[in-house]
Chains A and B, each alone.
Chain A
Amino acid sequence: MTDDDCANRENVADEGWMELAVIRLSSEEGHDRLAMDLVAETVRDLLPADRLEQLKTAVAEGALNAIEHGNRDRPEWSIFVRVYAGPHSVVVRIIDYGKSGPIIRPPAPNIDAKLTGEQPPRGWGLFLMEEMVDELHVTNGENYHCLELVMHREGERDEQQGA
């Protein structure tokens, strides 16, 4: 799988971008946490601690989604995690084989609806990812999904919020 498989909202091929890690993991229980730990180790010096915690949660959720849904828990199907750093952002792309069909955003999770049984207790994954990162881009390919998580780096984020 290549970068062409993703939406390329952040053009990581541009000057100033670096590919920091390419991680390939089998689709097994616990590898969502392993993906989280490996990404955290890679970008530890690029984000403040609170933002790093947010990215870790988003990566764990993205990897869990890829393992359980995209690859249907089949260990022989890998997930691919690519980490990039640019002048203004850190980008993590999580790619699977898309076996669950297109990722369709479910209704926003509502705890009132969950407590009355109108929504199932689960279904927080995409919501958490969206809340934890600055941008979430989803690409549904014919045989893959790509989740692109974007965290703006210090200064850039403040600049955008103040704009």
Chain B
Amino acid sequence: MSSRELEASVRVVGGVPVIDLRGELDGSGADLLAAVTRTAEREGAKLIALNFTEVGFINSKGIALIVNQIMRAREEGYELVAYGLSNHYRQIFTITRLTDFIHVTDDEENAVKTLSLIT
């Protein structure tokens, strides 16, 4: 069984580091996600965006990784915004209350605009 392992990279849009995620978000992506997060943090921005457009699967271990992301963001003093989630995963973000701690927008443009709302 071949699962699609997580891939991740960082780019900067309008002063906001964007972490592009591709593949499946489960526990196996922990080290990669931590590494790209550290890269994104070097920009020193008050907001980091998580792009889920190309993420096709998130399980309970993936949700745990996102909880870790929130903890890290709180420790380091920045906020998170997520975009590109399917309706199904938006529902999961809502019922797990991740949305209490992560901004969620439809697209990248609105994700980047979040920066002006928090500064």
Residues of A within 8 A of B (CB): 28-34, 50, 53-54, 57, 60-61, 64, 109, 111, 114-115, 120-125, 127-128, 131
Contacts and interface: CB of A to CB of B under 8 A. Distances in A.
Contacts of A30: 1-3
Contact of A115 (B24, B63, B70): B70
Label chain B's interface by main secondary structure.
Answer: helix
B1 A122 contact: no
Contact of A121 (B3, B68, B87, B97): B68
B96 A111 contact: yes
Given A33-B24, A111-B97, A125-B60, A54 B71 contact: no
Label chain A's interface by main secondary structure.
Answer: helix
Interface residues of B, number: 27
Interface in B66-86: 67-68, 70-71, 74, 86
A115 B67 contact: yes
A127 B1 CA distance: 26
B92 interface: yes
Contacts, number: 63
A11 B35 CA distance: 50
Contact of A53 (B88, B97, B100): B88
B113 interface: no
A120 B95 CA distance: 18
Given A50-B87, A61-B59, A122-B60, A109 B96 contact: yes
Given A64-B59, A64-B61, A128-B96, 11 more contacts: A28-B1, A29-B28, A32-B59, A34-B1, A60-B59, A111-B98, A115-B70, A115-B101, A123-B64, A124-B64, A127-B96
Given A111-B96, A128-B60, A121 B67 contact: yes
A33 B3 CA distance: 8
